[in-house]
Structure 1
Amino acid sequence: MGFAVAAAAVARGADVLLVAGPVSLPTPAGLARIDVRSAAQMHEAVMATLPCDVYVGAAAVADYTPASISPAKIKKQPGQDGLVLQLVRTRDILADVASHASRPALVVGFAAETQDVDDYARAKLVAKNLDLIAANRVGVEGSGFESDANTLIVHDAQGATTLGPAAKTELAHGLLDLIEARLP
Structure 2
Amino acid sequence: MPKEKDKRPVLITAGPTREAIDPVRYLTNHSSGKMGYAIAEAFLDKGFEVVLVSGPVGLSLTHKDLTIIDVISADEMYNACRAYFPLVQIAVFAAAVADYKPAEVRRQKMKKSGNEFSLQLVKNVDIALEFGKVKQKEQVSVGFALETNDEEQNALKKLFTKNLDMVILNSVQDKGATFGYDTNKITMINRDFVGRTFPLKSKKEVGKDIADAAISYASKQYALNKNHHDLHTI
2:214 to 174, 179, 182: 179
1:54/1:104 contact within 8 Å kept: no
How is 1:107-146 mapped onto 2 (pairs within 5 angstroms)? 107-138=141-172, 140-146=174-180
Higher relative contact order (CA closer than 8 Å, sequence separation 6+): 2
1:64/1:90 contact within 8 Å kept: yes
Shift of 1:138: 2.8
Match of 1:44 in 2: 79
SS of residue in 2 equivalent to 1:46: helix
Alpha-carbon distance between aligned partners in 2 of 1:46 and 1:64, rounded to the nearest angstrom = 19
2:92 to 34, 45, 56: 56
Match of 1:73 in 2: 109
Distance 1:84 1:95, change over 3 A: same
Q: Amino acid of the residue matched to residue 191 of structure 2?
A: A
Match of 1:161 in 2: 196
Alpha-carbon distance between aligned partners in 2 of 1:45 and 1:102, rounded to the nearest angstrom = 19
Shift of 1:74: 0.8
Which of the pair is proportionally richer in helix?
2
1:112/1:136 contact within 8 Å kept: yes
SS of residue in 2 equivalent to 1:99: helix
SS of residue in 1 equivalent to 2:198: strand
- Quote the sequence identity (%): 36
Shift of 1:110: 0.6
Match of 2:132 in 1: 98
2:174/2:185 contact within 8 Å kept: no
Alpha-carbon distance between aligned partners in 1 of 2:56 and 2:144, rounded to the nearest angstrom = 18
SS of residue in 2 equivalent to 1:68: coil
| Unpaired runs of at least 5, structure 1 | none
Q: TM-score, structure 1 length as denominator?
A: 0.93
| Unpaired runs of at least 5, structure 2 | 1-34, 223-234
Aligned residues: 182
Distance 1:66 1:139, change over 3 A: farther
Distance 1:84 1:104, change over 3 A: farther
**What is the RMSD computed on CA atoms of the aligned residues?**
1.6
Shift of 1:101: 5.9
Which structure: larger Rg? 2
